[in-house]
Structure 1
Amino acid sequence: MTTLNQIISEALKEDIPQGDITSLAIFGCKAAKAHGVFIAKQNFILSGVDVAEMVFKTISPHIRFHAFKKNGSRVFKGQKIATVSGPVDLLLKGERVALNFLQQLSGVATLTRQFVDAIKPYKAHIMDTRKTIPGLRLLQKKAVRHGGGVNHRMSLSDMYLIKDNHIAAAGSLKLAIQKVKQHGKHTLSPALPPQGGGVKRRLIEVEADTLAQVREALVEGVDMILLDNMTPAQIKKVVQIIAGMALPVGARRAVPLLEVSGGVNLKNVRKFASTGVARISIGALTHSASAVDISLDIE
């Protein structure tokens, strides 16, 4: 997994591969010190303020950065988010990179919070997916958490998720599950994986888009079933099936958690949450979140 240091270093190399020639032309090698203020131009949920600070500290450890708001906090239009002080040429070197991270990550956190708020008081978790901007998964998934969401698997290495193409290539859902169990020496557990990965015993989730596939997954035994592009009415039927499962005393086989994905938006997410599912995964959290409006005013 790419580290935060690597992400920031690559972003700075991309923006200033051979220096900031405009600032160099105007200020030369002895730029005066300046003070900058990050100002919110709209209401949003903050994410990435620590990343913005690290951008400037990477440019120079002598730059001073002070945050007024913490990640995950609600920011209102006109409020100060942070200040930064140092040689003006160094502040201008970090300006755009810091703002890019702040605006994009806060957009993810804000959209996530909108979904979280939309399903209250239902108990389903709003979850992200792997549909992230290449290279920014670590930060985007952190932003989801700042917005009150929960992370799904960080990578293909974290857990087994048998999808439609796996099933088609394997020949059947049953065969795909059996192969995975043989590979992982799987034992069932109802526990969710820790946020950000690090699963000791990798869980098995299977994607199902029909009731027949759901029943087949239940027969084989899995940790989670992802109900793909099903309607709320179809999902309620699955919830009823799961609720009616009778397990013998001492059985090691667990009732699988239900996850919904596909076709979920802010207008209908409440309907999906009302079905009683445990998880609702939404790709739009990371691939379609709009950047928020933040400015850095140099004084």
Structure 2
Amino acid sequence: MIQHMSYILQKRMLIVLFLLIPLVLLSVFALYPAVYLVYLSFMSWDGYSPEKTWAGLANYREVFANKEIWAAFGHNFVYLGWGLLQNALGLFFALLLNSRLRGRNVYRVVLFMPYIMNGVAVAYMFNYVFNSEYGSLNTLLHGIGLDLLAISWFGSPKVVNHVLGFITLWKFMGLNMVIYLAALQSVPSEIIEAARMDGASRWQTIVHVILPNMTKVIELNLFLTIIGTLEIFDLPFLLTKGGPLGASETFLTKTIDTAFKFNNFGMASAMSLTLIASVIVVLSIQKIVTRRWSD
């Protein structure tokens, strides 16, 4: 039967067959869960009862009226601040290691190594560093006579989020560095040499020649950073469980607790969609800022 088909028809059938399985998988594992999430956000459901009760906009009203939820969301912006510093340091080390520095390949590997480490392993490693009783940092501070600085790093509401933000910087800065390093190596050397021949200093070359040619890559890294910081979950969950007294809860940990601890899947679904909308808003602001900067 296939032999009697025209070449164009066989080609179209082959394309359809190749696309069929990916489209089915996309529908089952992406589109259907997304639509079902929207459906659940308008329902009142405990997660295991066969019946779901229509709640309308009640879940969304509760989300926006709940001060604890938005207090947890505010903690995400601490991570965002550390994420911006992470990008700045990644760019700094990329510029440094793109030069003719002796041993630069070794430094690149050392800085990139934290990113390939397992997140759980990183959490437990820093638990031994910042532990208030037997942590290596407090032991060092006591040893050099700085007893006043030896605090409960995970037990202080004002400090805990900054400690967790520092850990994210340590882990992901190497990834930013590698991405920026690849972008730097793609900048044409001719325009850099032309700028230097015209008398531009190294700082002027970086600001007026190199960075404008890296705008898209900087925008990509900021995009990844914003998404990662607004959706962070693993470190607060593993190291602090949201404590002390909810001081390190993030929007996502609060959503998980709402669903699986308090069995309120309807409100958790509404929180998830609210988070998605918040990410879109923040990314839109970032897009506007970077576009004005590039112009």
TM-score, normalising length: structure 2: 0.24
- Give 1 or 2 for the bigger CA radius of gyration: 2
TM-score, normalising length: structure 1: 0.24
By percentage of residues, which structure has more helix?
A: 2
